[in-house]
Amino acid sequence: MSAARFAGQTVIVTGAGSGIGKATAVRVAAEGGRVVAADVVADRLDELKAEHPSLDIVTVAGDIRQDDDIAKIVAAADGPVQGLANVAGVMDSFQPAHEIDWQQWDFVLAVNLTATAKLMAAVLPGMLEAGTGSIVNVASEAGLRGSAAGAAYTASKHAVIGLSKNSAVMYGKKGIRVNVVAPGAVATNIQAEFKSALAGEVLGPFMQVVVPGVAQPEQLAASIAWLLSDDSTNVTGAVLANDGGWSAV
């Protein structure tokens, strides 16, 4: 922890009402940043404010699938945005391709991928004007392999990594860094339910053997804060697996 690492900076954090997003918002604010904390559940944001009254946290309740709510989140910064942590995400139900629930597919891709891209698009013009900025997108172990979720979630998180790598190339010479954190199992509110017999047969035994354990949200927040900060000034286009060694298996 560094009391002034984010002094003078405004950082937007989505999914800030719980889990990794909440831990990231608290970490950045505790290190001197002004945080715009966004979440779809207003009550969770109220709890965040009540638990940390001394921190500079502005809360915005909204659905990141909606353009108007994205605009509201960015407007709440009330000035330049130096950092963006796209943490908000939803899980699928482990269906393989032939069993995809297409309504769920649209929902997962809208939250995990499209909203991530739209939030990036919303803050990038200001970062380009300033000639500096840092974006961290949260992917998943499912962005690194095909054995950690269903087709929808796996596709969305692979795409987040591709989006981030492309953006790192596009904006690298403009002073803007784009990186990815890929968590393994984390103690969060994200729901994961097997609704496929095939997935249970194929992935269930595998995951019981391979998954190394469950991390705490603060462990992920530490990695996200590092990538947002100038401590990682020479790092862009990286995918940091914070997964207890799962990706090494």
DSSP 143: G
Selecting among 6, 94, 105, 153, the annotated active-site residue is 153
User: Residue 180: phi, psi to the nearest 5?
Assistant: -130, 140
Nearest to 159 by CA among 100, 233, 89, 67: 89
DSSP E strands in 173-227: the ranges are: 176-183
User: Residue 241: phi, psi to the nearest 5?
Assistant: -80, 110
Query: Is 153 considered catalytic here?
Result: yes
- Count the neighbouring beta carbons within 10 Å of the beta carbon of residue 100: 18
Contacts of 108 (CB under 8 A, 6+ apart): 90, 91, 92, 152, 153, 156
**Interatomic CA distance for residues 84 and 35, integer angstroms:** 10
Instruction: Show which residues are catalytic.
Output: 153
